[in-house]
Chains A and B, each alone.
Chain A
Amino acid sequence: MKNLKLLLFSLLMTTTLLAQKGYDIGDVATDFKLENIDGNFISLSDFTQAKGFILIFTCNTCPYAVAYEDRIEALNKKYASKGYPVVAIMPNDISIKPGDSLAAMKKRATEKGFTFPYVIDREQSIFPQYGATKTPHVYILEKENNTNIVRYIGAIDDNYKDASMVKTKYVENAVDALLNNKEVSISKTKAIGCSIKI
């Protein structure tokens, strides 16, 4: 009995630790139903024509996220029609960052002319499942038998300061590879970002 308890406890601990760690490459990513800036609720399953997604945890208030706004919009313009739309999720607690409220998100999206959905993880229940820790934080998902498989985790490219100085476009390379049925050669990258406010 004691052993059983210990076993159960260990299992529980392992599950908890795994849950905290978030997704790795090859894992099945969860779908969600989150409110978009237009008031509608969005799920990945709504995108019946999509081959996959460029899912980006981002916000209004982080300077790194702001530095990438135009590049995120450019990704959507380039890849939505090819089957990889951008879906942006704002993960911060808005009581800590009022500048990330749905109204503020809507205002920013209008100013910048975002053409992608910009949804809010109001309950903060989705980003921990993915294991997102900062903004911006990208997950590229590939649709496979009605599930979404994680194929890339990390940064958008290798120069946050200057889009014209970028040497490696991590996200574009990964999506291009997936569109050509090739393996993603760089599937994980690291970059400085703002911690998600909880």
Chain B
Amino acid sequence: MRFFKYFIFVFLVFGCIPHQKELEVYDFQGIDSFLHQKDSKVHVVNFWATWCAPCVKELPYFEQLQENFEKDVEVLLISLDFPNQYETKLKPFLKKKQLKSKVIVLDDVNMNTWIPQIDSKWDGAIPVTLIYNKNKRQFYPQSFTYDELVNEVQKFLN
């Protein structure tokens, strides 16, 4: 009986951990290193939010890209969800979708400062995507289909 209680205790403590994945929340300074990695991979950085319908629509293409180009490409999904919706919207969304790509969250109100630092052409509408490797980078203020996405990534792989 004692063993059983112990078992229940251990189960409760450790059994929950994988589901309680904490969000990685950064300010702009915090995400800067993710935007300038100097390894040999092609980095595909997508800015999105659960409230942005065109963003949610294209997420599967980024997932597909990550899966099909696992060795050469690293997809990073940067969520711009509101802090007061992390628990109610973002976490349940991530749990439901079980995304394979890395997801981080950007929470920084100084938008007029950081938006132009990502790209001078960006006026703040999402989705937008940044593709870069150690030699070049390009900014895409648009939605993607899977084929369009692969097409752009190929330009970085060759």
Does B51 count as interface, using CB distance less than 8 angstroms? yes
A195 and B51 in contact (CB under 8 A), knowing A63-B82, A190-B112, A190-B115?
A: no
A38 CA to B155 CA in the complex, in Å? Answer: 53
A63 CA to B83 CA in the complex, in Å? Answer: 12
Contact (Cβ within 8 A) A134 B124: yes
Contact (Cβ within 8 A) B123 A133: yes
- Tell me the minimal C-beta distance from A56 to chain B in angstroms: 15
Contact (Cβ within 8 A) A194 B111: no
Contact (Cβ within 8 A) A195 B111: no
Contact (Cβ within 8 A) B52 A191: no
Which A residue's beta carbon lies closest to that of B83?
A161
Give per-residue flags for B28-57: 1 if the beta carbon is below 8 A from chain A beta carbons, else 0.
Answer: 000000000000000000000001111000
Report A67-98 residues with CB < 8 Å from chain B CB.
67, 96
Give per-residue flags for A162-175: 1 if the beta carbon is below 8 A from chain B beta carbons, else 0.
Answer: 10010000000000
Give per-residue flags for B110-123: 1 if the beta carbon is below 8 A from chain A beta carbons, else 0.
Answer: 11100110000011
Contact (Cβ within 8 A) B124 A193: yes
Contact (Cβ within 8 A) B111 A155: yes
Report A150-195 residues with CB < 8 Å from chain B CB.
154-155, 158-162, 165, 189-195
- Tell me the minimal C-beta distance from A72 to chain B in angstroms: 17
A19 CA to B32 CA in the complex, in Å? Answer: 34
A155 and B123 in contact (CB under 8 A), knowing A62-B51, A195-B52?
A: no
Q: Which of A134, A154, A193, A195 has the largest number of chain B CB atoms within 10 A?
A: A195
Q: Which of B52, B80, B125 has the largest number of chain A CB atoms within 10 A?
A: B125
Interface residues in B, total, Cβ within 8 A: 20
Does B109 count as interface, using CB distance less than 8 angstroms? yes
Contact (Cβ within 8 A) A190 B126: no
Report A110-152 residues with CB < 8 Å from chain B CB.
133-134
Contact (Cβ within 8 A) B82 A192: no
A134 and B112 in contact (CB under 8 A), knowing A63-B82, A161-B82, A195-B54?
A: no
In the complex, chain B residues whose CB is within 8 Å of the CB of A161: 82-83, 109
In the complex, chain B residues whose CB is within 8 Å of the CB of A63: 51, 82, 85
A161 CA to B85 CA in the complex, in Å? Answer: 12
In the complex, chain B residues whose CB is within 8 Å of the CB of A96: 53
Contact (Cβ within 8 A) A134 B123: yes
A192 and B110 in contact (CB under 8 A), knowing A133-B123, A133-B125, A134-B124?
A: no
* Among candidates A62, A133, A192, A196, residue contacting B111 with C-beta atoms closer than 8 Å: A192
A191 and B112 in contact (CB under 8 A), knowing A62-B51, A63-B82, A161-B83?
A: yes
In the complex, chain A residues whose CB is within 8 Å of the CB of B126: 192, 194-195
Chain A residues close to B by CB (< 8 Å) = 62-63, 67, 96, 133-134, 154-155, 158-162, 165, 189-197
- Given A67-B82, A191-B111, 11 other A-B contacts at CB below 8 A? A63-B82, A133-B124, A158-B110, A161-B109, A189-B112, A190-B112, A190-B124, A192-B125, A193-B125, A195-B54, A195-B126
Can you give 19 contacting A-B residue pairs, CB < 8 Å? Answer: A63-B82, A63-B85, A67-B82, A133-B124, A134-B123, A134-B125, A158-B111, A160-B111, A161-B82, A161-B83, A190-B122, A192-B80, A192-B126, A193-B125, A194-B52, A194-B125, A194-B126, A195-B125, A195-B127
